[in-house]
Amino acid sequence: VKQRAPVVEAIAVGNEILSGDILDTNFQYMARELRDLGIDVARHLTVPDVKERIAAQVTESLGRADVVLVTGGLGPTADDTTRYGVADALGLELHKDPDTVEGIRERFRRFGIADMAVANEVQALFPEGSAILDNPNGTAAGFRTETDDGRAVFVLPGPPRELRPMFGRHVAPWLEANRRLPVIAVRRLRTLGIGESMLAESVAAWPFGIQGVDLGYYPQDPGVDLKVTARGSDRAAVNAAADRAVGRLRDILGEHVYAAERISIGRVVGDLLLARKSTLSLAESCTGGLAGSLVTDTPGASAWFDASIVTYSYDAKEKLLGIPRALLESKGAVSEEVARAMAEAVRNLRGTDYGVGITGIAGPDGGSAEKPVGLVYIAVSDRNGTDSFRTSHAGERVTIQRRAAVTALDLLRRRLLRTGGPT
Ligand code: ATP
Ligand code: MG
């Protein structure tokens, strides 16, 4: 029998979190996933790697919550005490699971270690009656223990690349099968080139007469993500409401929407180039290669990305790109003319279909009344000509660099959309 919507608390274990050395990104991940399931986390706490403190916190959380999620401290070393603390809180003995011992041995053998250290066998200890949750990316299996009155404690390892797939494999499906969750549909739209207030004004007619939908704004620096959440009692109706709302938003926002869900601008540009069988090269100054880094974050970028040439000095711009010294001296390196020359030069030098030039003032020094810090010229060149843009960005140096790099890719994206088919 499914119970009411669950009250969930999350406990992170780790001195490293309390000391500020790492951030609890595991929680961020889990909370987002839970929200997509329609569950709001009631509390989020962090305790040190101390058995008694872990036990006390699990006991306290179980006093309020239906489901407690514990992460970290499942490793084989002396500072990994989570399994002991949780077992104490539940008043359960730890039992060694022979299959898990064998599994850990096997994993060690695959990495060429015949004799596994005895210490690793502690990772096969679980509170009696636990369900063991396998970990495809590590030796530390997790576990789920249920209390007599139907509460559940999930314990998962700390490394994010182990925790994330385990959440999707063991926690989300269990919640869906064993707890009554609201019927919910979540859709994301990512926008660039329109500020939050302009965005809000554009969608003033929200929710367009559609029942049961919410709209959230999530600034991304740069850009704003929109999240549509539809709730109701009927799955098909909820999905349809979410899709209708997204369709209306897309109609209104047009080209400002660059992606759905969590797709990056680098991937969007890559997909557009790929579809047009076109190639790209970049000439960067103030972004120092960041635009190139954003595009190479996408797997398979070699199919469409050729080079980013970082030319910082006048000399580099002259020798590597062939920008005339006279132009640099008369207009200044940060100028529309030089941005255009950079885009055209890199495109010709590299023989790519598209060339992008970026030159600006990232600060904090070097600004003037005429050319303030944050001013960045961006040019996009293809065989039909070159467009150039005077853009300005607020923030500290690295923020300006990031905003400029993303804006350059966004301007390229808009050009690609208008170009349509292969160039
Ligand atoms: P291991 O076997 O690797 O020791 P573990 O389950 O014992 O796994 P911890 O010792 O708590 O996990 O953490 C291991 C590493 O995982 C930490 O150094 C940290 O880099 C990362 N980590 C742990 N907890 C978190 C968290 N809440 N958010 C992000 N990263 C975390
Ligand atoms: Mg550890």
What tens digit of pLDDT does each residue of 278-309 get? 999 999 999 999 999 999 999 999 999 999 99
Report the pocket of ligand 1 as residue ranges, CB < 6 Å.
Answer: 12-14, 16-17, 22, 24-26, 71-75, 80, 140, 157-160
What distance in angstroms lies between residue 32's CA and the mean position of ligand 2's atoms? 24
- DSSP assignments along 82-108, one per residue: HHHHHHHHHT--EEE-HHHHHHHHHHH
Residue 316, number of CB atoms within 10 A of its CB = 14
Look at residue 36 in the predicted model and tell me its pLDDT.
87
Q: Which ligand has the shortest distance to the CA of 83? A: 1
Distance CA 286, CA 366 (A): 12
Q: Which ligand has the shortest distance to the CA of 11? A: 1
Note the pTM of the prediction, 2 decimals. 0.81
What distance in angstroms lies between residue 87's CA and the mean position of ligand 2's atoms? 17
What tens digit of pLDDT does each residue of 36-94 get? 898 999 999 999 999 999 999 999 999 999 999 999 999 999 999 999 999 999 999 99
Instruction: Give φ, ψ of 357 to 5 degrees.
Output: -115, 140
What tens digit of pLDDT does each residue of 222-231 get? 999 999 999 9
At residue 275, does pLDDT exceed 90?
A: yes
What distance in angstroms lies between residue 379's CA and the mean position of ligand 1's atoms? 44
Of 79, 68, 60, nearest in space to 30 by CA: 68
Look at residue 1 in the predicted model and tell me its pLDDT.
42
Pocket probe mutation, ligand 1, options 15, 71, 139, max atoms within 8 Å of Cβ: 71
1-10, 166-175, 327-336: least confident range: 1-10
Pocket probe mutation, ligand 1, options 50, 51, 80, max atoms within 8 Å of Cβ: 80
Contacts of 310-319 with C-beta under 8 Å, sequence gap 24+, read 310/284, 310/285, 311/283, 311/284, 311/285, 311/342, 312/285, 312/288, 317/285, 317/342
Residue 387, number of CB atoms within 10 A of its CB = 17
Euclidean distance between the first and final Cα of the chain, in Å? 60
Structure token digits, residue 287: 């972004």
Pocket probe mutation, ligand 1, options 25, 30, 32, 74, max atoms within 8 Å of Cβ: 74
Look at residue 423 in the predicted model and tell me its pLDDT.
45
Residue 144, number of CB atoms within 10 A of its CB = 19
CA angle 127, 43, 81 (to 5 degrees): 30
Q: How confident is the model at residue 209 (pLDDT cuts 50, 70, 90)?
A: very high
Mean per-residue pLDDT, 118-147: 93
Look at residue 239 in the predicted model and tell me its pLDDT.
96
What tens digit of pLDDT does each residue of 329-349 get? 999 999 999 999 999 999 999
What distance in angstroms lies between residue 158's CA and the mean position of ligand 1's atoms? 3
What distance in angstroms lies between residue 6's CA and the mean position of ligand 2's atoms? 29
Distance CA 301, CA 409 (A): 14
At residue 118, does pLDDT exceed 90?
A: no
At residue 311, does pLDDT exceed 50?
A: yes
